Amino acid sequence: MNPYILAILLFGLGLGTTITFASSHWLLAWMGLEMNTLAIIPLMAQHHHPRAIEATTKYFLTQAAAAATLLFASVTNAWLTGQWEIQQITHPLPSTMITLALALKIGLAPLHAWLPEVLQGLDLTTGLILSTWQKLAPFALILQIQPSNSTLLIILGLASTLIGGWGGLNQTQLRKILAYSSIAHLGWMILVLQFSPSLTLLTLLTYFIMTFATFLVFKLNKSTNINTLATSWTKAPALTALAPLILLSLGGLPPLTGFMPKWLILQELTKQGLAPAATLAALSALLSLYFYLRLSYAMSLTIS
């Protein structure tokens, strides 16, 4: 891709997210989200491959549907309450619609089906942008509205942690595994969002750092499925020795970094009297850990 075009698209990505961050008006926030979507679409379709074009089309349709729902909900809110402020969502109907639209945008279960398919059709660099940067703007809006419907958030969070765990078990494609991992981590963040936003931000930050490292490891090894991981020892021995630590940290194995936010979230949920939800989330983390152990084992197969 022409470097000037690439620079413009990356600038558009940054500007879209910044506009959403800075806005207090629903129309401006919607504009920022739309700029984000329009800027990443050429990046997704830059490799003229049927899978990439299919993934781009799926992503565009999903994001357009979510953005339309968001705009409709914010107009409904303005009609019912007479104001456009993001933090003044008082009516339950627009609040629920906006929460579901943003859940569709970031890929929370049960609105997650597009994410593994889209990520599978992209190269690892664009996949990294989709898994990290593209989550920021919708997440900022979810943090700002603090939906009044706490039951909906807990259902979305628990469904995401469980589906993120179960979905990754029978996968051999690394990008699909990372997509299910993304769904599971977002579920953890949504679970604790209404009780401790600062803890949600800590989890988001650690998830970004670990996902960035994982994508870069796979990119340097040119790995797209589990079989290609087995040859990584001959390509980069030092990286292969460190990679299981990154993967197991992403899975949340104590005493690695990824365990810290999960532990704090479980503690917070128990304090709030949600011990059953905390138990379900902890059990789903074991499922995620299983497929990370599988990846780590595949990487260490050829170590002699």
User: What residues contact 61, with CB distance under 8 A and at least 6 apart?
Assistant: none
Residue type, 50: P
- Predicted confidence at residue 304, as pLDDT, reads 52
CA distance 4 to 152: 44
For the entire predicted model, the pTM comes to 0.93
Segments of the chain with pLDDT less than 50 = none
The tokens of 202 are what? 């800590």
- Predicted confidence at residue 107, as pLDDT, reads 93
- Predicted confidence at residue 147, as pLDDT, reads 67
- Predicted confidence at residue 131, as pLDDT, reads 94
CA distance 285 to 293: 12
Residue 36 · residue 60 · CB < 8 Å: no
CA distance 45 to 58: 12
The tokens of 226 are what? 């589990």
Q: What are phi and psi of 217, to 5 degrees?
A: -60, -50
CA distance 265 to 270: 9
